[in-house]
Structure 1
Amino acid sequence: MNYLLMAPQPGAEQNPITTFLPLVLIIVVFYFFMIRPQVKRQKELKKFRESLAKGDKVVTTGGIYGKVAEIKENYVLLQVDDNVKLRVDKSAVVKDMSDVTPQK
Protein backbone atom coordinates (compact mmCIF):
# COMPACT_ATOMS: atom_id res chain seq x y z
CA MET A 1 0.00 0.00 0.00
CA ASN A 2 1.05 3.56 -0.56
CA TYR A 3 1.25 5.12 2.91
CA LEU A 4 2.47 8.49 1.63
CA LEU A 5 -0.81 9.32 -0.08
CA MET A 6 -3.13 8.11 2.65
CA ALA A 7 -4.88 10.66 4.82
CA PRO A 8 -3.74 10.63 8.45
CA GLN A 9 -5.96 9.13 11.11
CA PRO A 10 -7.85 11.62 13.25
CA GLY A 11 -5.54 12.81 16.02
CA ALA A 12 -2.40 11.60 14.23
CA GLU A 13 0.20 13.96 12.76
CA GLN A 14 0.90 14.11 9.03
CA ASN A 15 4.29 12.93 7.78
CA PRO A 16 6.58 15.99 7.23
CA ILE A 17 7.95 14.47 4.01
CA THR A 18 4.52 14.50 2.39
CA THR A 19 4.08 18.13 3.42
CA PHE A 20 7.23 19.40 1.71
CA LEU A 21 7.41 16.94 -1.20
CA PRO A 22 5.24 19.02 -3.60
CA LEU A 23 7.29 22.15 -2.86
CA VAL A 24 10.56 20.32 -3.49
CA LEU A 25 9.22 18.87 -6.75
CA ILE A 26 8.14 22.32 -7.96
CA ILE A 27 11.61 23.74 -7.22
CA VAL A 28 13.33 20.87 -9.06
CA VAL A 29 11.09 21.25 -12.12
CA PHE A 30 11.59 25.04 -12.08
CA TYR A 31 15.37 24.57 -12.00
CA PHE A 32 15.53 22.07 -14.89
CA PHE A 33 13.05 23.83 -17.18
CA MET A 34 13.83 27.51 -16.53
CA ILE A 35 17.05 28.27 -14.66
CA ARG A 36 19.43 25.72 -16.19
CA PRO A 37 18.63 26.49 -19.87
CA GLN A 38 18.94 30.24 -19.23
CA VAL A 39 22.39 29.84 -17.64
CA LYS A 40 23.48 27.66 -20.57
CA ARG A 41 22.28 30.31 -23.07
CA GLN A 42 24.14 33.05 -21.20
CA LYS A 43 27.39 31.03 -21.24
CA GLU A 44 27.07 30.41 -24.98
CA LEU A 45 26.41 34.10 -25.65
CA LYS A 46 29.42 35.14 -23.55
CA LYS A 47 31.62 32.66 -25.42
CA PHE A 48 30.32 34.02 -28.75
CA ARG A 49 31.06 37.64 -27.79
CA GLU A 50 34.58 36.73 -26.69
CA SER A 51 35.24 34.94 -29.98
CA LEU A 52 34.20 37.85 -32.22
CA ALA A 53 36.72 38.63 -34.93
CA LYS A 54 37.15 41.28 -37.57
CA GLY A 55 35.01 40.51 -40.62
CA ASP A 56 32.29 38.54 -38.77
CA LYS A 57 28.72 39.30 -39.84
CA VAL A 58 26.53 39.93 -36.79
CA VAL A 59 23.14 41.23 -35.65
CA THR A 60 22.56 43.55 -32.69
CA THR A 61 19.69 43.45 -30.20
CA GLY A 62 18.16 46.38 -32.09
CA GLY A 63 18.12 44.39 -35.34
CA ILE A 64 21.04 46.12 -37.05
CA TYR A 65 22.97 43.88 -39.42
CA GLY A 66 26.63 44.65 -39.91
CA LYS A 67 30.16 43.40 -40.33
CA VAL A 68 32.68 43.74 -37.49
CA ALA A 69 35.27 46.36 -38.46
CA GLU A 70 37.04 46.76 -35.12
CA ILE A 71 36.83 45.22 -31.64
CA LYS A 72 37.68 47.04 -28.42
CA GLU A 73 37.28 46.13 -24.74
CA ASN A 74 33.71 47.45 -24.32
CA TYR A 75 32.45 48.07 -27.83
CA VAL A 76 32.44 46.80 -31.39
CA LEU A 77 32.66 48.99 -34.48
CA LEU A 78 30.21 47.67 -37.09
CA GLN A 79 30.33 48.52 -40.76
CA VAL A 80 26.69 48.80 -41.77
CA ASP A 81 27.13 50.19 -45.29
CA ASP A 82 29.87 51.80 -47.39
CA ASN A 83 31.40 54.58 -45.27
CA VAL A 84 28.85 53.98 -42.47
CA LYS A 85 30.18 52.61 -39.19
CA LEU A 86 28.38 52.31 -35.86
CA ARG A 87 29.90 51.93 -32.42
CA VAL A 88 27.86 49.32 -30.55
CA ASP A 89 28.26 48.00 -27.02
CA LYS A 90 29.54 44.41 -27.00
CA SER A 91 26.53 43.26 -24.99
CA ALA A 92 24.25 44.36 -27.86
CA VAL A 93 25.77 41.87 -30.32
CA VAL A 94 23.64 38.75 -30.15
CA LYS A 95 23.96 36.62 -33.27
CA ASP A 96 26.45 35.52 -35.89
CA MET A 97 24.96 35.76 -39.39
CA SER A 98 27.88 34.38 -41.40
CA ASP A 99 26.37 30.88 -41.57
CA VAL A 100 22.85 32.02 -42.56
CA THR A 101 21.90 31.76 -46.21
CA PRO A 102 20.38 34.93 -47.71
CA GLN A 103 16.60 35.00 -48.31
CA LYS A 104 15.29 35.45 -51.86
Structure 2
Amino acid sequence: MQLLAVPMASSGGGGITLLLPLILIVGMIWFMSRSQKKQRQRQADTVAALAPGSKVITTSGLVGIVEETDDEYVTLEISEGVLVQVVKGAIGRVVPEEDAAAEGTADESTDEDAADDSTRVDVPDTGRDKADGKVQDTPTLPPTHTEN
Protein backbone atom coordinates (compact mmCIF):
# COMPACT_ATOMS: atom_id res chain seq x y z
CA MET A 1 0.00 0.00 0.00
CA GLN A 2 1.30 3.34 -0.94
CA LEU A 3 0.36 6.66 0.71
CA LEU A 4 0.33 9.77 -1.31
CA ALA A 5 0.86 13.18 0.20
CA VAL A 6 -1.45 15.72 -1.35
CA PRO A 7 -0.72 19.36 -0.59
CA MET A 8 -3.69 21.20 1.03
CA ALA A 9 -5.19 24.05 -0.86
CA SER A 10 -4.27 27.39 0.64
CA SER A 11 -7.24 29.58 1.51
CA GLY A 12 -5.27 32.77 1.05
CA GLY A 13 -6.18 35.67 3.54
CA GLY A 14 -5.99 33.48 6.67
CA GLY A 15 -5.07 36.49 8.81
CA ILE A 16 -8.17 38.44 7.75
CA THR A 17 -10.57 35.61 8.65
CA LEU A 18 -9.09 35.43 12.14
CA LEU A 19 -9.11 39.19 12.59
CA LEU A 20 -12.71 39.78 11.45
CA PRO A 21 -14.46 38.25 14.55
CA LEU A 22 -12.14 40.19 16.82
CA ILE A 23 -13.05 43.46 15.07
CA LEU A 24 -16.77 42.65 15.37
CA ILE A 25 -16.49 41.93 19.10
CA VAL A 26 -14.59 45.16 19.76
CA GLY A 27 -17.19 47.10 17.74
CA MET A 28 -20.09 45.60 19.73
CA ILE A 29 -18.44 46.47 23.03
CA TRP A 30 -17.83 50.04 21.85
CA PHE A 31 -21.48 50.53 20.78
CA MET A 32 -22.81 49.09 24.05
CA SER A 33 -20.60 51.31 26.18
CA ARG A 34 -21.62 54.33 24.11
CA SER A 35 -25.34 53.69 24.71
CA GLN A 36 -24.72 53.24 28.45
CA LYS A 37 -22.80 56.50 28.50
CA LYS A 38 -25.73 58.31 26.85
CA GLN A 39 -28.14 56.79 29.37
CA ARG A 40 -25.96 57.91 32.31
CA GLN A 41 -25.81 61.43 30.83
CA ARG A 42 -29.63 61.57 30.51
CA GLN A 43 -29.98 60.46 34.14
CA ALA A 44 -27.49 63.12 35.27
CA ASP A 45 -29.39 65.80 33.31
CA THR A 46 -32.67 64.68 34.87
CA VAL A 47 -31.24 64.85 38.39
CA ALA A 48 -29.61 68.23 37.72
CA ALA A 49 -32.94 69.67 36.51
CA LEU A 50 -34.80 68.82 39.72
CA ALA A 51 -36.49 71.81 41.30
CA PRO A 52 -39.00 72.12 44.14
CA GLY A 53 -42.50 71.53 42.86
CA SER A 54 -41.50 69.03 40.16
CA LYS A 55 -43.46 65.79 40.05
CA VAL A 56 -41.11 62.78 39.80
CA ILE A 57 -41.23 59.00 39.66
CA THR A 58 -38.47 57.04 41.36
CA THR A 59 -36.90 53.90 39.93
CA SER A 60 -38.90 51.84 42.44
CA GLY A 61 -42.19 53.42 41.29
CA LEU A 62 -42.73 55.94 44.08
CA VAL A 63 -44.50 59.09 42.83
CA GLY A 64 -43.99 62.38 44.63
CA ILE A 65 -43.42 66.10 44.42
CA VAL A 66 -39.93 67.48 45.09
CA GLU A 67 -39.85 69.56 48.27
CA GLU A 68 -36.11 70.22 48.49
CA THR A 69 -32.82 68.97 47.10
CA ASP A 70 -29.27 68.90 48.41
CA ASP A 71 -26.01 67.36 47.22
CA GLU A 72 -26.96 63.70 47.70
CA TYR A 73 -30.65 63.53 48.62
CA VAL A 74 -34.06 64.67 47.40
CA THR A 75 -36.99 65.15 49.76
CA LEU A 76 -40.29 64.06 48.18
CA GLU A 77 -43.82 64.64 49.39
CA ILE A 78 -45.62 61.41 48.54
CA SER A 79 -48.87 62.32 50.27
CA GLU A 80 -50.15 65.37 52.06
CA GLY A 81 -47.75 65.90 54.97
CA VAL A 82 -45.72 62.73 54.28
CA LEU A 83 -42.10 63.46 53.35
CA VAL A 84 -39.60 60.85 52.16
CA GLN A 85 -35.90 61.36 51.58
CA VAL A 86 -34.40 59.42 48.64
CA VAL A 87 -30.99 59.31 46.97
CA LYS A 88 -30.77 61.45 43.83
CA GLY A 89 -29.83 58.40 41.77
CA ALA A 90 -33.20 56.85 42.60
CA ILE A 91 -35.08 59.49 40.58
CA GLY A 92 -36.19 57.70 37.44
CA ARG A 93 -37.93 60.47 35.53
CA VAL A 94 -39.62 63.82 35.89
CA VAL A 95 -43.29 63.93 34.94
CA PRO A 96 -43.83 66.78 32.46
CA GLU A 97 -46.17 69.58 33.54
CA GLU A 98 -48.78 68.87 30.83
CA ASP A 99 -49.09 65.24 32.02
CA ALA A 100 -49.53 66.40 35.61
CA ALA A 101 -52.18 68.93 34.51
CA ALA A 102 -54.04 66.25 32.52
CA GLU A 103 -54.02 63.95 35.57
CA GLY A 104 -55.40 66.76 37.69
CA THR A 105 -58.36 67.36 35.37
CA ALA A 106 -59.06 63.62 35.18
CA ASP A 107 -59.05 63.40 38.98
CA GLU A 108 -61.52 66.27 39.27
CA SER A 109 -63.97 64.67 36.83
CA THR A 110 -63.88 61.35 38.71
CA ASP A 111 -64.49 63.17 41.99
CA GLU A 112 -67.63 64.76 40.53
CA ASP A 113 -68.82 61.40 39.20
CA ALA A 114 -68.19 59.83 42.61
CA ALA A 115 -70.29 62.52 44.29
CA ASP A 116 -73.17 61.80 41.90
CA ASP A 117 -72.85 58.06 42.48
CA SER A 118 -72.97 58.46 46.25
CA THR A 119 -76.48 59.92 46.05
CA ARG A 120 -77.73 57.15 43.74
CA VAL A 121 -78.53 53.75 45.19
CA ASP A 122 -79.19 50.73 43.02
CA VAL A 123 -81.56 48.29 44.68
CA PRO A 124 -82.08 44.93 43.01
CA ASP A 125 -85.63 43.80 42.29
CA THR A 126 -86.69 41.73 45.28
CA GLY A 127 -90.08 40.70 43.95
CA ARG A 128 -91.95 42.57 46.69
CA ASP A 129 -93.89 44.76 44.31
CA LYS A 130 -96.66 42.18 43.74
CA ALA A 131 -100.23 43.34 43.98
CA ASP A 132 -101.10 40.89 46.76
CA GLY A 133 -98.01 41.83 48.80
CA LYS A 134 -96.63 38.30 48.93
CA VAL A 135 -92.97 37.62 48.28
CA GLN A 136 -92.31 35.27 45.42
CA ASP A 137 -89.40 32.89 45.90
CA THR A 138 -86.78 32.98 43.21
CA PRO A 139 -86.37 29.66 41.42
CA THR A 140 -83.29 27.68 42.37
CA LEU A 141 -81.13 25.78 39.96
CA PRO A 142 -80.54 22.07 40.40
CA PRO A 143 -77.20 21.12 41.91
CA THR A 144 -74.35 20.83 39.42
CA HIS A 145 -72.72 17.93 41.23
CA THR A 146 -73.58 15.33 43.77
CA GLU A 147 -71.76 14.64 47.00
CA ASN A 148 -70.77 11.06 47.82
Following superposition, the deviation at residue 87 of structure 1 comes to 0.6
The count of corresponding residues between Structure 1 and Structure 2 is: 95
Matched to 1:9, the amino acid is A
Tell me the distance in 1 between the aligned counterparts of 2:29 and 2:88: 30
Alpha-carbon deviations, 1:68-100, whole Å to 9, x = none? 000011100001111111011111111011343
Tell me the distance in 2 between the aligned counterparts of 1:19 and 1:58: 50
Tell me the distance in 2 between the aligned counterparts of 1:98 and 1:68: 13
Q: TM-score, normalised by structure 2?
A: 0.56
Match of 1:52 in 2: 50
CA-based RMSD of the aligned residues comes to: 2.3
Larger deviation, residues 85-94 vs 34-43: 34-43
Match of 2:27 in 1: 28
Matched to 2:9, the amino acid is Q
Q: Secondary structure at the match of 2:93?
A: strand
Structure with max Cα Rg? 2
Following superposition, the deviation at residue 17 of structure 1 comes to 2.5
RCO higher in 1 or 2 (8 Å CA, sep ≥ 6)? Answer: 1
Q: Unaligned regions of 5+ residues in structure 2, if any?
A: 1-7, 107-148
Higher helix proportion (structure 1 or 2)? 2
Identity of aligned residues (%): 32
Match of 2:15 in 1: 16
Q: Secondary structure at the match of 2:52?
A: coil
Q: Unaligned regions of 5+ residues in structure 1, if any?
A: 1-7
Higher strand proportion (structure 1 or 2)? 1
Following superposition, the deviation at residue 14 of structure 1 comes to 5.6
